[in-house]
Amino acid sequence: MPATKFICPNGREIPILKCLNRCQQQERCMFLPTLRAIAQSLDRGITEPTVTELISGVRESYLKKTVDYAVDPQGVLYALQGQAVHTLHEECTEGEILSEVRLKDAVTSGKFDLYGKILDESDGTLGDLKVTSSYKIMKALGIYKVDVPTGEVYKTGAKKGQPRTRKEFRYDGIRHVMDWAIQLNYYRKLLESAGFMVKRMVIQAICRDNSLRTSAERGITKAVYLIPIHRISDRWLTRYFKAKAKRLQEALDTKKLPAVCSTRERWHDRKCLEFCDAREHCAYAREIKMLQLFKAG
């Protein structure tokens, strides 16, 4: 089920419809149309498991389908930014370009962003729009920093006599694009099953914090980056999505909580601590949150 409650600035939870009908505070935390748009974005009315849903951990997907959970409107505004970008692009796709078409097979369904002559006159490019952080783009591009000796040494302080170094960027690191690659490749698979030829796949990553100093410190100096995505075996994709869909359906049928999401699906616990909407209903997420508070205290 979709989120049913908002988390107010005072920390209290309130049913979304009750919030939209009348604010319980002296003044709303944001414009009413903004809150309505957020509420609409939370419920897409799709019954079958989607590509993006199956890429997430099975436990996360199960909880979001079976429990009432609350979201902080401030924390999900990024989703509206992404939707706005998609809408603007959809309005500018005249000619030989397909946009925002949902395709499905026996396992799942997915809505691709753009397909056609979107980069040059060569047909068959599948594009995906991402509005994301400079950190995510840095990882996707394989950018990292190394310490390079300057030829000088520290003359005073605790490091006296030790060589001085400076940070330099390197651009040959591991490209962390696994989830994006799985998603885009399944869209490709759905398109090809429908009779469309996909010659290449490209992510257009829009950096939402590109004007901040932290972005430049990560080696991200542009607002938009094009990130090529390589093909993944159809056989692997089919096995992956069938397995995830089967595990999710079995959990829904038996009403049994699935195993803890994998380390990759949990973003090494960062998702459990801050970004999983259903984390309050997950014993693992609550446990690591308590452990974090214990260490901080």
Burial string for 87-123 (b: 16+ CB within 10 Å, else e) reads eebeeebeeebebebebbeebbbbbbbbbbebeeeee
Per-residue pLDDT of 145-170, as tens digits, reads: 999 998 899 888 888 888 899 999 99
**Ordered DSSP codes for 181-213:** HHHHHHHHHHHHHTT----EEEEEEEETTTTSH
* E-assigned strand segments in 35-192: 70-71, 97-104, 109-116, 125-132, 144-153, 163-170
Helix/strand/coil for 177: coil
Q: What is the pLDDT of residue 90?
A: 79
Q: What is the pLDDT of residue 44?
A: 66
Q: What is the pLDDT of residue 246?
A: 96
Q: What is the pLDDT of residue 239?
A: 97
Q: What is the pLDDT of residue 234?
A: 96
User: For the chain, which ranges sit under pLDDT 70?
Assistant: 1, 44-45
Neighbours of 55 (CB within 10 A): 19
Residue 5 near residue 44, CB atoms below 8 Å: no
Q: What is the pLDDT of residue 32?
A: 93
Q: What is the pLDDT of residue 1?
A: 60
Q: What is the pLDDT of residue 45?
A: 65
Q: Domain extents for the chain? A: 76-256, 260-297
Q: Please say whether the structural domain 76-256 has been given the CATH code 3.90.320.
A: yes
Q: What is the pLDDT of residue 128?
A: 95
**Ordered DSSP codes for 12-61:** -EEEHHHHHH--SSSS-SS-HHHHHHHHHHH-----SPBHHHHHS-HHHH
